[in-house]
Structure 1
Amino acid sequence: MMRKILITYMTKTNTTKEVGEAIAKILTENNLTVDLLPMSDVTNMDMYDGIIVGGPINGMRWVPEATSFIKENQQVLSQKKTALYFVAYLLHDGRKIWKKAIKSSLNASKKLINTSKTGMFGGKIEDIFPGIARFMFGVKKNAPLETIKWDNVRRWGEELADYFGSN
């Protein structure tokens, strides 16, 4: 029997969706059936063997829509194989205080559904940070507009294929 996986996401700039698409491609290559849906379109998760929930970090926290989704669906998510992924531009660069806040948000969400399967990936910004923002967040002047390490996404997707493909 082919396993069916839901990847659901909330996105503001399409970056979280792009990461979800990359993960969906890897899972499909590994003979899993995948639906990729925005959180707002998810009405029933009973038909899925596994669920992946993704969202961006905004204001050093997982977006409220993602946290609400986890809380509202805590019972269902706790009964299935579940994974979470986070997209944060400041994941690789930035001051330790911001990284600590991001990881704290991640840990709080993981505890709600008791999952150890989490992916944290860089993100994208549209324009370079102005000088004061670069200083405040600890971003280098020549920092790239995209910090996603796609090899990390691929590795995590392959790890998930094993996780969801096993009994």
Structure 2
Amino acid sequence: MQTLVIYYSRNGFTEKALSILADFLKDPTDTIHIKDMNNEVDLNKYDRIIIGSPVYNNRVNSKILGFCKKNMEILSEKKLGFFVTSLSDIETAKDYLFQSFPKSLLRSTRCKSFFGGEISWASLSPVERLTLQMTKGITTDVSNIDLNEIEKFAACLRKQCR
């Protein structure tokens, strides 16, 4: 089973969550940060494609969404998994996932998840710090990584490939 993970990670948490997911999957997996993606990636050689993005300002990354829309036809033929990372509560984060990704792709998979979120205060810009202070009352490092949810997502992906 050839697996490709396409993701966006701004401050490193989504990438960290992917590392944990890879440990649970135990399958060889190619990963591509969306900013490093070029048109030379042959999606046809992959059986399974996992797409992940953090949520910033109530939105999934626009390049991730653009990739999904541009590649709807080929993605609809693949085994898919979608996840988001966010500091929001699980219901709000799942709403972001369901409202952001193309409905037809979401309907084609049972593997959709929310992995929690993490903020490293030192890595934030002054504007990001101010925004978090004003909108969420956050003034320090925060982590709500959900290892159980990552493990359940990996189990769903494994089951999908049987």
Scaled by the length of structure 2, the TM-score of the pair is 0.79
Q: Could you give the per-residue CA deviations for residues 21-57 of structure 1, whole angstroms, max 9, x where no partner exists?
A: 22222222xxx33112212336221111110001100
Pick from 145, 150, 156 the counterpart of residue 142 of structure 2.
Answer: 145
8 Å CA contact retained: 1:88, 1:122: yes
Instruction: Report the number of matched residues.
Output: 151
8 Å CA contact retained: 1:84, 1:110: no
State the one-letter code of the partner of 1:33: P
State the one-letter code of the partner of 1:70: C
Give the direction of change, closer, same or farther, for the CA distance of 1:103–1:130 in structure 2 (3 Å limit): same
| Aligned counterparts, 1:87-106, within 5 A | 87-92=85-90, 99=92, 102-106=93-97
Quote the offset at 1:135 in angstroms. Answer: 6.3
| Corresponding residue number in structure 1 for 2:30 | 35
| Aligned counterparts, 1:42-57, within 5 A | 43-57=41-55
Q: What's the secondary structure of 1:53's corresponding residue?
A: strand
Mapped to 1, the partners of 2:21 and 2:37 lie a distance apart of 19
Give the direction of change, closer, same or farther, for the CA distance of 1:86–1:133 in structure 2 (3 Å limit): closer
Quote the offset at 1:140 in angstroms. Answer: 7.5
Mapped to 1, the partners of 2:117 and 2:131 lie a distance apart of 20
Give the direction of change, closer, same or farther, for the CA distance of 1:132–1:81 in structure 2 (3 Å limit): closer
Scaled by the length of structure 1, the TM-score of the pair is 0.76
Give the direction of change, closer, same or farther, for the CA distance of 1:23–1:133 in structure 2 (3 Å limit): closer
State the one-letter code of the partner of 2:32: L
Identical pairs, percent: 20
Q: Which runs of 5 or more structure 2 residues have no equivalent in the other structure?
A: 123-127
User: What's the RMSD between the two structures over aligned residues?
Assistant: 2.7
Give the direction of change, closer, same or farther, for the CA distance of 1:140–1:105 in structure 2 (3 Å limit): closer
- The answer to which of 77-86 and 36-45 deviates more is 36-45
Mapped to 1, the partners of 2:131 and 2:77 lie a distance apart of 46
Quote the offset at 1:144 in angstroms. Answer: 6.0
Q: Which runs of 5 or more structure 1 residues have no equivalent in the other structure?
A: none
Match status 1:107 vs 2:104: no
